[in-house]
Chain A
Amino acid sequence: MTDASLNGAEEPRRRGSIHEIDARTRKRNAREARFKGYGIGAILVGLFFLVVLAVSIVSSGLPAFTKTVVKVEFTMSQEQYDEAESTLFKTAAYSDIFIAQLRDTMEEEGVEVAFDEGSIERLLGKVGGTLREFYTANEDQLGQPVTFQLPASSRVDGYFNGRVTREGLTESRFLELTDLDLVDALADAGVITQAFNWTFLTGSDSGVDNPGGAGIGVSVVGSFFMMLVVLVLALPIGVAASIYLEEFAPQNKFTDLIEVNISNLAAVPSIVFGILGLAVFIQFMHLPQSAPLVGGLVLTLMTLPTIIISTRASLKSVPPSIRDAALGVGASKMQSVFHHVLPLAMPGILTGTIIGLAQALGETAPLLLIGMVGFVARDYPDGFVGGFTEANSAMPAQIYTWAARADASFYEKAWGGIIVLLVFLLLMNVIAILLRRKFERRW
Chain B
Amino acid sequence: MPSMKLAASALAIAAASATTVAAQSRDNVQVAGSSTVLPYASIVAEAFGENTDFPTPVVESGGSSAGLKRFCEGVGENTIDVANASRAIRDSEIETCAENGVSDIIEVRIGYDGIVFASQQDGPAFDAFVPSDIFNAIGAKVLVDGELVDNPHTSWADFNSDLPDAEIAMFIPGTKHGTREVFEEQVLLTGCEDTGAMEAMIEGGMSEDDAEDACLDVRTDGGHSVDIDGDYTETLARIDANPNGVGVFGLAFYENNQDALKVATMSGVAPSTETIASGEYPVSRPLFFYVKKAHIGVIPGLKEYAQFFVADELAGPDGPLSNYGLVADPELAETQQKIADEVTMGESM
Report which residue of B73, B78, B255 has the largest number of chain A beta carbons within 10 angstroms of its beta carbon.
B78
Inside 8 A of B50's CB, which chain A residues have their CB? Answer: 90-91, 128-129, 132-133
* Interfacial residues of chain A within 369-387, with CB under 8 A of chain B in the complex: 371, 373-378, 385
Known contacts A87-B313, A391-B28, A404-B233; is-contact A293 B253 (Cβ 8 Å):
no
Known contacts A233-B14, A374-B32; is-contact A289 B26 (Cβ 8 Å):
yes
Inside 8 A of A233's CB, which chain B residues have their CB? Answer: 11, 14
Choice from A235, A283, A404, A406 contacting B61 with Cβ under 8 Å: A404
Known contacts A233-B11, A404-B61, A404-B231; is-contact A289 B78 (Cβ 8 Å):
yes
A51 to chain B, nearest CB (A): 24
Contact: A88 with B22, CB < 8 Å? Answer: no
Known contacts A92-B313, A209-B323; is-contact A232 B61 (Cβ 8 Å):
no
CA–CA, A377 and B55, complex, Å? 9
Contact digits for B255-280, partner A, Cβ 8 Å, 1 yes 0 no: 11111000000000000000000000
CA–CA, A173 and B51, complex, Å? 26
Q: How large is the interface on B (under 10, 10 to 19, 20 to 34, 35 or more residues)?
A: 35 or more
Known contacts A128-B50, A208-B43, A374-B38; is-contact A406 B256 (Cβ 8 Å):
yes
Known contacts A89-B311, A207-B43, A285-B22; is-contact A406 B252 (Cβ 8 Å):
yes
Choice from A88, A283, A385 contacting B313 with Cβ under 8 Å: A88
Decide if A181 is an interface residue (CB 8 Å cutoff).
no
A96 to chain B, nearest CB (A): 11
Known contacts A89-B47, A209-B320, A377-B56; is-contact A293 B21 (Cβ 8 Å):
yes
B46 to chain A, nearest CB (A): 4
CA–CA, A91 and B46, complex, Å? 11
Choice from B8, B45, B313 contacting A89 with Cβ under 8 Å: B313
Inside 8 A of A401's CB, which chain B residues have their CB? Answer: 61
Tell me the nearest residue of chain A to B39, going by C-beta.
Answer: A208
Inside 8 A of A320's CB, which chain B residues have their CB? Answer: none
Inside 8 A of A288's CB, which chain B residues have their CB? Answer: 21, 24, 26, 77
Known contacts A89-B313, A285-B22, A389-B21; is-contact A170 B259 (Cβ 8 Å):
yes
Tell me the nearest residue of chain A to B234, going by C-beta.
Answer: A404
CA–CA, A174 and B255, complex, Å? 9
Decide if A282 is an interface residue (CB 8 Å cutoff).
yes
Inside 8 A of A27's CB, which chain B residues have their CB? Answer: none
B248 to chain A, nearest CB (A): 14
Decide if B349 is an interface residue (CB 8 Å cutoff).
no
A299 to chain B, nearest CB (A): 14
Known contacts A236-B11, A287-B21; is-contact A172 B60 (Cβ 8 Å):
no
Contact: B78 with A391, CB < 8 Å? Answer: no
CA–CA, A403 and B38, complex, Å? 14
Choice from B21, B39, B58, B80 contacting A376 with Cβ under 8 Å: B58
CA–CA, A404 and B38, complex, Å? 11
* Interfacial residues of chain A within 296-320, with CB under 8 A of chain B in the complex: none
Known contacts A89-B47, A90-B51, A405-B233; is-contact A374 B59 (Cβ 8 Å):
yes
Inside 8 A of A133's CB, which chain B residues have their CB? Answer: 50
Known contacts A375-B59, A406-B39; is-contact A208 B18 (Cβ 8 Å):
no
> Is chain B's interface secondary structure helix, strand, loop, or mixed overall?
helix
Choice from B61, B78, B233, B324 contacting A373 with Cβ under 8 Å: B61
Tell me the nearest residue of chain A to B38, going by C-beta.
Answer: A375
Known contacts A208-B39, A373-B61, A404-B230; is-contact A388 B21 (Cβ 8 Å):
yes
Q: How large is the interface on A (under 10, 10 to 19, 20 to 34, 35 or more residues)?
A: 35 or more
Contact: B51 with A89, CB < 8 Å? Answer: yes
Contact: B43 with A209, CB < 8 Å? Answer: yes
Contact: B55 with A406, CB < 8 Å? Answer: no
Decide if B42 is an interface residue (CB 8 Å cutoff).
yes
Decide if B179 is an interface residue (CB 8 Å cutoff).
no
Tell me the nearest residue of chain A to B57, going by C-beta.
Answer: A375
Decide if B242 is an interface residue (CB 8 Å cutoff).
no
* Interfacial residues of chain A within 395-427, with CB under 8 A of chain B in the complex: 401, 403-408
Choice from A164, A373, A388, A406 contacting B17 with Cβ under 8 Å: A388
Decide if A229 is an interface residue (CB 8 Å cutoff).
yes
Contact: B259 with A173, CB < 8 Å? Answer: no
Contact: A406 with B233, CB < 8 Å? Answer: yes
Contact digits for A99-140, partner B, Cβ 8 Å, 1 yes 0 no: 000000000000000000000000000001100110000000
Decide if A199 is an interface residue (CB 8 Å cutoff).
no
Inside 8 A of A88's CB, which chain B residues have their CB? Answer: 51, 308, 311, 313
A153 to chain B, nearest CB (A): 11
Contact: B24 with A389, CB < 8 Å? Answer: yes
Inside 8 A of A404's CB, which chain B residues have their CB? Answer: 35, 61, 230-231, 233
Tell me the nearest residue of chain A to B9, going by C-beta.
Answer: A232
Tell me the nearest residue of chain B to A235, going by C-beta.
Answer: B7
Tell me the nearest residue of chain A to B46, going by C-beta.
Answer: A207
Tell me the nearest residue of chain B to A389, going by C-beta.
Answer: B21
Decide if B82 is an interface residue (CB 8 Å cutoff).
no
Tell me the nearest residue of chain A to B308, going by C-beta.
Answer: A88
* Interfacial residues of chain A within 152-210, with CB under 8 A of chain B in the complex: 164, 168-170, 172-174, 205-210
Contact: B58 with A374, CB < 8 Å? Answer: yes
Decide if B10 is an interface residue (CB 8 Å cutoff).
yes
Contact digits for A32-74, partner B, Cβ 8 Å, 1 yes 0 no: 0000000000000000000000000000000000000000000
Decide if B30 is an interface residue (CB 8 Å cutoff).
yes
CA–CA, A235 and B10, complex, Å? 11
Contact: B255 with A172, CB < 8 Å? Answer: yes
- B interface with A by C-beta (< 8 Å): 1, 7-8, 10-11, 14, 17-18, 20-22, 24, 26, 28, 30, 32, 35, 38-39, 41-47, 49-51, 55-56, 58-62, 73, 76-78, 80, 230-233, 252-253, 255-259, 308, 311, 313-314, 319-320, 323-324
Interchain residue pairs with CB less than 8 A apart (9): A207-B45, A286-B77, A287-B18, A291-B21, A375-B58, A377-B45, A377-B49, A378-B56, A389-B24
* 9 tightest A-B CB contacts, nearest first: A374-B60, A89-B313, A236-B7, A207-B46, A406-B256, A375-B59, A375-B42, A207-B43, A208-B39
